[in-house]
Amino acid sequence: MADLDLRPLSLGEILDRTFTLYRRHFLLFLGITAFPHLLILGLNLVQASLTTMPALPGKPPVEHFQGGPSTGLFAFGIFGVIIALIVYLIAYLFSQGGTVYAVSELYLGRTTTIGASLRRMWGQLGNLFLVSLLNGIAVGLSFILLIIPGIYVACRLITCVPAALLEDLGASRSLGRSWELTKDNAGRAFVIGLLYFGIFYAATLLLMMPFGVGVVIAVAKQDVEMLRMWSALMNVGSFVVQVLVSPILLIATSVFYFDLRVRKEAFDLQMMMNPGGAISSGRPSVPSILS
């Protein structure tokens, strides 16, 4: 997307560029997110087809539905749970990393494809897993202390994934890098996150809530076939929400990452001198609260 020049951006311009990239390359981002999440959809549909009817309090279970307390993949015990976790994790990492790589190429005026963006993730799965894990621990511990510190830490670490993938940094260094870049910019990160969650919950209400009502009605009627149908439709709705909405946050955080580097490190001048080169790394340092 060569018409996107590298220069310091206002918050409004960051959001505008986010939706411009998404709109112009909709099929690219749709494919990067959809292909990995098809694994999750398939797993969820299998689980929905194996669902058994829970008995209502004070009402004896219908004989047709008796057959054990386990439902879905839990019927396979710990093996099913492990398979589900692996599938969810792989899909999450591939869609997240592939989107960041695609934004990087497009934002710097290059071209890319769904396959090329996803293939770049093969060597980064372990590193991105550790980044996500460490990020989750840091934010989670902060939320345990108090809500406000948790939100602040999440805002300061919002660019850790682009930093890890585009600068080839390890887990702790990528979090330190994000903390360094977002200094004095936590407010802009908060607005980006708030906008994403607003869109996500609105889409969830629109595409999943009606099917959730169907699930409740099916349970009330003790109709297992209806329950399985509505559960399957709710999983399809969840798939659509993830595929359509999750790229927005990843695109926005990637654009935000580049804007911070332009502001603080003259990244625009670096790319002017070496437009086809790799993205250079700054000097990340891990702050004391993350070390």
Per-residue tokens: 119: 């293939």
Of 187, 167, 22, 185, nearest in space to 107 by CA = 22
pLDDT band at 79, cuts 50/70/90? confident
**278, 166 contact by CB (below 8 A):** no
So what's the pLDDT on residue 155? Answer: 96
DSSP string, 111-136: ---HHHHHHTTGGGHHHHHHHHHHHH
Question: pTM for the full model?
Answer: 0.84
User: What mean pLDDT is predicted for residues 58-74?
Assistant: 47
User: Residue 156 and residue 150: Cα distance in Å, rounded?
Assistant: 10
Task: Report CA-CA distances (Å) from 191 to 10, 197, 263.
Answer: 12, 10, 19
Per-residue pLDDT band at 76 (split at 50, 70, 90): low
Which among 223, 263, 215 has a CA at the least distance from the CA of 14? Answer: 263
pLDDT tens per residue, range 1-46: 445 467 889 999 999 999 999 999 999 999 999 999 998 898 888 8
Which residues, 6 or more positions from 119, have their beta carbon under 8 angstroms from its beta carbon? none
User: Domain coordinates of the chain in residue numbers?
Assistant: 11-49+68-273
The residue that leads in pLDDT, 74 or 215, is 215
For CA atoms 278, 282, 283, 287, give the dihedral sign.
Answer: negative
Question: Which pair of structure tokens corresponds to residue 229?
Answer: 């149908």
Provide CB contacts within 8 A for 208, sequence distance 6+.
234, 237, 238, 241
pLDDT tens digits for range 82-96: 887 888 899 999 999
Among candidates 27, 18, 29, 42, which has minimal Cα distance to 239? 42
Contact partners, residue 45, CB within 8 Å, separation at least 6? 232, 235, 236
- Please give the Cα distance from 184 to 188 (Å, whole number): 9
Q: Which alpha helices (H) appear in 266-285, and where do they start and end?
A: 267-273
pLDDT tens figures, 232-280: 999 999 999 999 999 999 999 999 999 999 888 877 666 666 555 556 6
Q: What percentage of residues in the chain have a pLDDT greater than 90?
A: 58
pLDDT score, position 68: 39
pLDDT digits (tens, 9 = 90+) for 210-233: 999 999 998 888 888 898 899 999
Identify whether the C-beta of residue 59 lies closer than 8 Å to the C-beta of residue 34: no
In this structure, the number of other CB atoms found within 10 A of the CB of residue 120 comes to: 18
Q: CA-CA distance, 67 to 224, in Å (whole number)?
A: 13
Estimate to the nearest angstrom the gap between the alpha carbon of 154 and the chain centroid. Answer: 14
| More confident position, 54 or 146 | 146
DSSP string for residues in 79-118: HHHHHHHHHHHHHHHHHHHHHHHHHHHHHTT----HHHHH
